[in-house]
Amino acid sequence: MTKIDKVLYTGKTRTTGGRDGASRSDDGELDIKLSPPGSARPGTNPEQLFAAGWSACFIGAIGIAAGKLKIRLPTETAVNSEVDLGTTEGDYFLQARLKVSLPGIEADVAKALVDEAHRTCPYSKATRGNIHVELSIA
């Protein structure tokens, strides 16, 4: 397990009520209602939040990889992420799919950028070997 030498940022939230509750960041910028997936109740769920965080981080990692290759990313760069909550033999698990859109970037270059981003993105590192992840390029 890798221990961080220098902390760059700490996200802080307080959640009450679990999947039927609310979550708020210490700075007040995040203040959301939570609801179970598929419940049709107001609010988001942890799987959506995880998908949003991972896709944002992944785009940042693609940008770093592109910078190393002196490639300018298109402004339309996007990651569609899907995080599944499911069960196997009665235990809960997650799995994910990240579909990356890099319009105007050649396929082999796009693949190299996505592979490097998946190698370096902290969310990808945290999930590597723990959940099934599929990467694709739109």
Q: What is the pTM of this model?
A: 0.94
Residue 1: the pLDDT is 81
Q: What is the pLDDT of residues 36-62, one digit of tens each?
A: 998 999 999 999 999 999 999 999 999
Q: How far is CA 95 from CA 72, 73, 83, 84, 132, in A?
A: 31, 27, 6, 5, 5
CA 133, CA 85: separation in Å to the nearest integer? 13
Residue 84: the pLDDT is 97
The answer, yes or no, to whether residue 125 has pLDDT greater than 90, is yes
Q: At 135, list the tokens.
A: 């990467």
CA 99, CA 62: separation in Å to the nearest integer? 13
Q: At 47, list the tokens.
A: 């799987």
